[in-house]
């Protein structure tokens, strides 16, 4: 079996690493996680051929889209999504002691734990860093009397010598993150289930342009499970749309709808058809 390098958000102990290790075990593939400082670096390494694939977050159920991932998919050439994993997120507050005056974490978990922080640590200084594992690492390097803590995974805290202060501090037990495996584009293969990702830019000055594109899905009874817009980065008021389409034994209808949508768009990219799995942890 061939060993494949897969870029992920580091350092050791991130939710991304935990999800990637679970994914590799689930897929029964020989995957070597290569850690990068941020999501864009992991995706760029895949695009440049330094790794065969990247495994990156795309959406959190509480905080919404991971914009850096969406922007990369919109701008990159010849890449596609090949798998999706839904990962339940468990956030812990970990430190060297119980006194907490500073709390380190990534912006997403900080937002995911907003109610907990407001109730229990309203006066604490919140410090945003590149990842939850980086937060655990930084707190681990501080002195024992630093009165600092990290919002991180239990594994990250243990790696860097931290102890639990409060467990499962996310504001919702339904907190989960969608991860995409992204790699260089290959031949599109028909699927009987899963999802497809379509990215397009519409004529914003034309009334009803979005309505017309979505109408192509409705005509063929193709279910759209998500729509997201992002600035096109060309001028103010110009947007790109990201659409997730459900594949339900209706592959010809999905492809016919995509073809019709392309004719109504300035440009359109079919960014992969892929299976969706949910982690059981």
pLDDT of residue 1: 56
- Give the CA-trace dihedral at 19, 184, 213, 194, to 10 degrees: -40
**Confidence grade of residue 269 (pLDDT, cut at 50, 70, 90):** very high
Q: Which of residues 145 and 126 earns the better pLDDT score? A: 126
For residue 2, the model assigns a pLDDT of: 65
The pLDDT value given to residue 119: 97
Does 205 score more than 80 pLDDT?
no
Q: Please name which of 173, 199, 182, 208 lies closest in space to residue 262, comparing C-alpha atoms.
A: 199
* Three state DSSP letters for 179-237: EEEEEECCCCCCCCEEEEEEEEECCCCCCCHHHHHHHHHHHCCCCEEEEEEEECCCCCC
Gap between the Cα atoms of 130 and 135, Å rounded: 8
pLDDT exceeds 80 at position 95: yes
Residue 38 in tokens:
């941020």
Identify the pLDDT of residue 247: 98
pLDDT computed for residue 251 by the predictor: 97
Q: In the predicted model, what is the mean pLDDT of residues 196-220?
A: 93
One fold for 92-166 and 193-275? no
What percentage of residues in the chain have a pLDDT greater than 90?
78
* Superfamily classification of domain 92-166: Periplasmic binding protein-like II (3.40.190.10)
Q: What is the pLDDT of residue 144?
A: 82
Cis peptide before 52 (omega within 30 of 0): no
| pLDDT tens profile 155-180 | 999 999 999 999 999 988 888 999 99
> What pLDDT score does 97 carry?
87
Task: Provide the pLDDT for residue 63.
Answer: 82
Question: Where exactly are the structural domains of the chain?
Answer: 4-88+175-184, 92-166, 193-275
pLDDT digits (tens, 9 = 90+) for 131-156: 899 999 999 999 888 999 999 999 99
Does CATH number 3.40.190.10 belong to domain 4-88+175-184? yes
The CATH architecture to which 193-275 belongs is 2-Layer Sandwich (3.30)
Q: Average per-residue pLDDT in the chain?
A: 93
pLDDT in tens, 211-256: 999 999 999 999 999 999 998 877 777 889 999 999 999 999 999 9
Within 8 A by CB and 6+ apart from 106, the residues are 128, 129, 130, 131, 132, 134, 135, 151
pLDDT digits (tens, 9 = 90+) for 12-37: 888 899 999 999 999 888 889 999 98
pLDDT for res 163? 95
| pLDDT at res. 162 | 96
Tell whether the model's pLDDT for residue 62 goes beyond 90: no
pLDDT of res. 237 = 74
- The answer to whether the beta carbons of residues 43 and 56 sit under 8 Å apart is yes
Reported confidence tier of residue 58, pLDDT bands at 50, 70, 90: very high
């Amino acid at each position: 079996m061939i060993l494949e390098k897969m870029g992920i958000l580091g350092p050791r102990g991130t939710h991304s690493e935990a999800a990637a290790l679970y994914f590799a075990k689930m897929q029964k593939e020989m995957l070597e996680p290569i850690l990068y400082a941020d999501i864009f670096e992991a995706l760029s390494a895949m695009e440049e051929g330094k790794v065969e694939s990247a495994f990156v977050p795309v959406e959190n159920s509480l905080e919404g889209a991971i914009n850096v991932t969406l922007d990369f998919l919109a701008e990159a050439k010849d890449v596609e999504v090949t798998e999706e994993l839904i990962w339940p997120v468990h956030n812990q507050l970990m430190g060297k002691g119980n006194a907490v005056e500073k709390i380190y974490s990534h912006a997403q978990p900080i937002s995911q734990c907003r109610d907990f922080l407001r109730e229990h640590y309203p006066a604490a200084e919140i410090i945003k860093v590149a990842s939850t594992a980086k937060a655990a690492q930084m707190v681990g390097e501080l002195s024992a009397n630093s009165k600092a803590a990290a919002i991180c995974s239990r594994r990250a805290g243990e790696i860097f010598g931290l102890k639990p202060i409060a467990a499962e501090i996310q504001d919702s037990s339904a907190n989960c993150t969608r991860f995409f495996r992204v790699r260089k584009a290959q031949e599109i293969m028909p699927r009987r289930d899963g999802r497809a990702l379509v990215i397009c830019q519409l004529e914003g000055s034309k009334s009803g342009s979005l309505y017309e594109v979505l109408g192509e899905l409705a005509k063929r009874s193709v279910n759209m499970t998500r729509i997201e817009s992002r600035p096109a980065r060309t001028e103010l008021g110009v947007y790109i749309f990201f659409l997730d389409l459900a594949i339900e034994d209706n592959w010809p209808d999905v492809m016919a709808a995509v073809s019709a949508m392309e004719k109504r768009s300035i440009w359109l990219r079919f960014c992969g058809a892929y299976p969706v799995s949910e982690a059981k942890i």
